[in-house]
Amino acid sequence: MKNRIIILDTTLRDGEQSLKSSLNTKEKIEIALSLEKLGIDILELGFPISSPQEFNSIKEISKIIKNSTICSLARCVEKDIDIAAKAMKSSNNFRIHIFLATSYLHIKSKLQKTFEEIVQLSINAIKIAKKYTDDIEFSCEDAGRTSIDNLCYIVEKLINEGVKTINIPDTVGFTIPSQFGDIIKNLFNRVPNIDKAIISVHCHNDLGMAVANSIAAIQNGAKQIEGTILGIGERAGNTSIEEVCMAIKIRKDLLKFKTNINHKYIYRTSKLVSKICKIKIPSNKAIIGNNAFSHSSGIHQDGIIKNRKNYEIINPESIGIETNRLNLTSRSGRAAIKYKMKEMGYKKEDYDLNQLYDLFIKLADKKGQIFDYDLENLAFLTKEENESHFYKLINYEINFIYSNKSKFLIKFKHGKKTKKIELEFSNNFIYSLIKLFNRTMNINIKICNYEMNIKNKEKKEICSINIKVEYESQKFYEIIEGYDMWEISIKSIFNILNNIKKKERLKKIKLSKVNLNDKRI
């Protein structure tokens, strides 16, 4: 297909280089299978000469992947190429990716050779690789800082040797889109045999322009983009696969290109890579961040309710996100509250919108984010019921028994009674506390997500806790901060328990109304 852009994913090679520890074979297989399902054309699996574990991972993945071409990296060294071919021999569809620096800076200071020697080393490496496959990719490392005359010269030579894909990397993320686009344009204008190879680009994000440079490249003739899921990689990372593919999809009016990507698997694959690689996705990350489809401003929420296209250029369902999110904060308006209440099954005559909005604003100013159950409580419980705390911390004591174990004595109000509980734990305090409450209070709370962060505020360390739990198929949230880590940890659980109590109270009120209606019939 003339207008199709080939996607090479290097999450398992360049992406892994940025991780604190290497992935094991099982983890790599899981990611590779997800990438294949996503529709990635070429999977760059690693640099097999680097370690026996890397070699074995590539070998095992080669046996499994059927729909994507697999690829391994090699220097212009015979042993590298031999090992790369050996690692992938189980596959009927593999590529050898050879690289060598071509910029004057790298040739002079790193390789300590002449440009002529670089050209000859490249040609020799290609001849070795051709013994194993005719699918060879060659990368002119640091092409973004290579003189255009030298770049055109070596590209022509490489194509004459039978290289099917020439990669033009912006290795250090130095170029800007207009400059990088001109490099690709010059290659097409000045290299006579350019039509015999696919021009690929591999852009780094040191100046935050990897995606923009990749788009500029395909606008000027490149047919392959290399990148990673979440944009992970050396230093500031690589071109983000999810961003560049969605840019091509959403701006097809200007770009007029297609990819083989199954867009509905973007979110699932991104979350998997985040989990396995232990990389937290920033909230404001384009396409797949928590805030990408969240709306807090009352004006925006009203616009979204009326027509999603007012403030969303991407349908969240198209990338595998179930729905957009209206975050209820003090910036939200009546339209958002009315929408949320309707979403929960309430009719406008069931509650007083103006009264609910006034109560909502007061609570939002105090609490920050408001959740569905908060709205229900405000709408249907009395002021006294909302302000009551069935569980309330009085004080606590902590003793360190020995190096890895601590003992807590917690004194708290439970209804009108004062109670004390003892808790011994060795690592995770919150999980241990929830487990203790589940056992002693005969409830069943499950932690879905728990985050604790320490930050400096007014020259003091402040702790913030973000916790999500599940109770009887409903999610309960608590966001709290304070200077005492242990105190806010206990309070976060008590606040959740109080919200669960309010939910149970609300159920009784609804049930009594149903019974009352039954008697009137």
Predicted confidence (pLDDT) per residue in 189-240, tens digit = 999 999 999 999 999 999 999 999 999 999 999 999 999 999 999 999 999 9
Q: How far is CA 16 from CA 94, 96, 238, 285, 491, in A?
A: 20, 19, 11, 19, 39
pLDDT at 490 over 80: yes
State whether 59 and 171 are in the same domain: yes
Higher-pLDDT residue of 93, 291: 93
Residue 95 class from Cβ within 10 Å (0-12 exposed, 13-18 middle, 19+ buried)? buried
pLDDT at 30 over 70: yes
Question: Residue 187: inside a domain, yes or no?
Answer: yes
State whether 31 and 180 are in the same domain: yes
The pLDDT of residue 154 is 98
State whether 404 and 310 are in the same domain: no
Whole-prediction pTM value?
0.80
State whether 261 and 219 are in the same domain: yes
Could you say which of 380, 400, 418 is where a domain stops? 380
pLDDT band of 520, cuts 50, 70, 90? very low
Domain harbouring 444, CATH code? 3.30.160.270
State whether 26 and 113 are in the same domain: yes
Contact 74, 55 (CB under 8 A): no
Question: Residue 284: inside a domain, yes or no?
Answer: no
State whether 137 and 211 are in the same domain: yes
State whether 395 and 319 are in the same domain: no
State whether 272 and 360 are in the same domain: no
pLDDT at 326 over 80: no
The pLDDT of residue 511 is 61
At 229, phi and psi to the nearest 5? -70, 135
pLDDT at 519 over 70: no
Beta-carbon neighbour count of residue 106 at 10 Å? 18
Helix 353-367 with 372-380: angle, nearest 10 deg: 130
The strand pairing partners of 410, in sequence order, are 396, 421
The pLDDT of residue 324 is 61
The pLDDT of residue 516 is 45
Question: Residue 282: inside a domain, yes or no?
Answer: no
Residue 520 class from Cβ within 10 Å (0-12 exposed, 13-18 middle, 19+ buried)? exposed
State whether 75 and 136 are in the same domain: yes
- Tell me which residue range forms the domain holding 496: 391-508
Question: Residue 186: inside a domain, yes or no?
Answer: yes
State whether 70 and 217 are in the same domain: yes
Beta-carbon neighbour count of residue 407 at 10 Å? 13
Higher-pLDDT residue of 53, 359: 53
Average pLDDT, the chain: 89
Domain harbouring 233, CATH code? 3.20.20.70
For the chain, the domain total comes to 3
Query: Token digits for 250?
Result: 């959403």
**Residue among 44, 13, 34 nearest 200 (CA):** 44
Question: Residue 519: inside a domain, yes or no?
Answer: no
The pLDDT of residue 95 is 98
pLDDT at 364 over 90: no
Question: Residue 249: inside a domain, yes or no?
Answer: yes
State whether 117 and 171 are in the same domain: yes
Render pLDDT for 418-477 as a digit per residue (tens, 0 to 9): 888 887 777 778 888 888 888 877 888 888 888 888 877 767 788 888 888 888 888 888
Could you say which of 223, 247, 277 is where a domain stops? 277
Lowest mean pLDDT among 72-86, 261-275, 459-473: 459-473
Concatenated DSSP letters for 406-463?
Answer: EEEEEEEEETTEEEEEEEEESS-HHHHHHHHHHHHTT---EEEEEEEEEEEETTEEEE
Lowest mean pLDDT among 127-136, 139-148, 453-462, 482-491: 453-462
Helix 266-277 with 25-38: angle, nearest 10 deg: 170
At 396, phi and psi to the nearest 5? -145, 160
State whether 345 and 266 are in the same domain: no
pLDDT band of 512, cuts 50, 70, 90? low
Question: Residue 287: inside a domain, yes or no?
Answer: no
Question: Residue 517: inside a domain, yes or no?
Answer: no
pLDDT band of 296, cuts 50, 70, 90? low
Could you say which of 336, 360, 380 is where a domain stops? 380
The pLDDT of residue 136 is 98
Interatomic CA distance for residues 5 and 98, integer angstroms = 21
Interatomic CA distance for residues 328 and 364, integer angstroms = 8
Give the amino acid at 462: I
